[in-house]
Each structure stands twice: as structure tokens, then as C-alpha cells.
Structure 1
Amino acid sequence: MLSSARTVLIEHGFESFTFDEVARLADIPIGTLYQFFANKYVMICELDRQDTEAVIEEVSRFGETVPTLKWPEFLSEFIDHLAKLWREDVSRRAVWLAVQSTPATRATAEDTKARLVTEISKVLRPLVPSSSDAELNFISDLMINATYALLNYAVDHPGSDAEREAHYELTVQEIKRMTISYLMSVAEAAD
């Protein structure tokens, strides 16, 4: 069901996304969808939850490498992995844009993102041990929003294959530079 929903979202966009099309593609009765999802907004939020859970798993793995003097290298690898997820699964961008489309889906996405904020804050704690939980949560939330927006920018560029590839590589490189520099600045300011 959900993989069919992703396909419909990619092919038709959020405005034209319908349960009829998802049911047709999944080859199931439309009533089956309504057994699990009240409407398309709930289904889109479930797709966002799945995407967020996958990122949380990666953050937890990255967190095992912090604190260490090599954390910038690990962060660089982590960003490469996230960028690869965005590039290989075009539905991530479609889901992210879809959950931004209404106040209700934005609110649900914020609730879903809260777990990710908490996980990133745990990872950042050794870098800025004197920061309050509120400060760490703000930094984490800021980094999530900036990184997601930039990952979407990285994979959405018109032009030839070579131009798109160059844009993607340069954007990912700059995401790394910005994120690592920002975190070093935050850590220095906390000392």
C-alpha cells in the first residue's frame, strides 16, 4: 500500500494524489486503505514517519561515533549517506513537500520530527555539554530543516545529466562544509 502511495505521489503530485489511484496501483479495494488511513493526509504523514524513522536509525549509528576527534569525518559520511537516500528515493522529496502543504500535515510532521530532534540532541551533547536541552533542541531542529531543504535542492536541478550531477556533488559538499563549520562554531562558543 505505502509503496504504491509513494509511486502515486511521485507520478501525480500531492494535489492529484487520490486513494482511488493508490488502490488501483496496489491492486486492493479502496476500503482497505480506509481501514488504515482516514484520508490522504494521514497516509502522507505515515510516509513521512517512515522516512523519519530511517533517518533516526542512521543518526543513532552516527551517535555511536561521537565524541571522537574524527567526528567531522563521520558527519561527512553521514551526510553522504543522507544525500544518497534523497537521490535514490525520489519519494523522500515528494513526501517532504507534501507534508509542508497544509497546517495539519505540517503539525503532524513536527510531532514526527520531535523524535529526530531528540536523537540529534543526544549526539550533539558531547560537543556542547554546557548547553541546555532547549538550546540543543533548537540547534538540532535548525540543522534538520536546513539539511532537508538543501538535500531537496541538491536533487532538484534542471539541466543535462552532467549539470545535475555537478549540482548535486557541489551542494552535498557545501552541506558538509556548512554543517561541520556550524557545529565547530557552536562547540567553540560553548567553551
Structure 2
Amino acid sequence: MDFVLQSSYLLGLLTLLVVAAVLVARQVWRTRSTETRLNQLQRAVTEGTATPADYYELGSIYLRKKLYVQCINQLQKAIKNWDENDPEGLAKVYNALGYAYFSQEQYDLAIRQYREALKCQPQYVTAMNNLGHAYEKKKLTAPALEMYEQALQIAPDNPTAKQRANALRKRLAPAG
């Protein structure tokens, strides 16, 4: 009986170690891939061969690393050089820039960028949700609810818009 119990514990421990090793290896691989791509993009910027998409990707990497000043700088370069015939791509850049400002609690600047994203792509649900969230942070409940409701008209099953709109409706409902 002791042998069975010990074998079970040993098998459990071995399984746990294998799972942990796989998770660590995946994280190391992701980090190395990101760092390799970061170096490539930085080299392209230094050499003057970076495309607007490269600036956007570099800004996105900086955003994930929470390097907001560098992120904003790269995203602004992407916007400045973006092809006007690609409004969907430009909307993503403006949305990312808005998120960078939002992350620094610069809500007015974030709102401006989210609005620009929606000018480029009026059906951009992510930008609507982000704009609604920025309005909430500014205590602008009615415009926030309006944004979430607009998002729900386009994507009725959007979980973020559903949850936030319901919470705001409850807050705006008269007490009684």
C-alpha cells in the first residue's frame, strides 16, 4: 500500500513539474520572440527604414511593456506616416494611442484619440468600449452609456458593453 501511495505522489509531482516546465518554456519563448522583434524594429527605426506599420508594432510592444512615453512617440510617428487609404489600420493606431494615454490617466487625451479612431472606422466596437470607459473615468455617465449602447447595436453580444451598460443603467435609474 505504501508503494502505491508513494508512486501516486511521485507521479503527481512529476506531472506538476512537467506542466510547470512547459509553462516556463512557453513564456521564455514568447519573451525571446518579443525581444527579437523589438530589436528588429528598433534597428529599422534607427536605419530610417521603418514603415508606419513598424512604428505601430513597436509602439504596441512598448505599450505591453508599459513604456508609455516611448509607445506614444512611436504611435504618433505611425499616424503621421499612415496611408490614408487604410482607415481601419489607422483606427487601430489611434485606439492604441488612446489606450496609452488612458493607462497614464490622461483621459482627455485618450478620449480625443478614441474619437479619432471612430472617425476612421465608425463601427469599431473596441474603440467605442474604450471611449465609454474613458467617459466613465471622467464621471461622464450619460455619454459613457451612449457609447456602450452604440457598441451593443453593432455587436449585441459584446460582453464588455453589456456589463458596463447594465451597470450604468442601474446607476442612472431613479431610486425608488
Shared fold by TM > 0.5?
A: no
Kindly name which structure, 1 or 2, has the bigger radius of gyration based on alpha carbons.
2
By relative contact order (CA 8 Å, sep 6+), the higher-ranking structure is 1
TM (norm. structure 1) is 0.28
TM (norm. structure 2) is 0.30
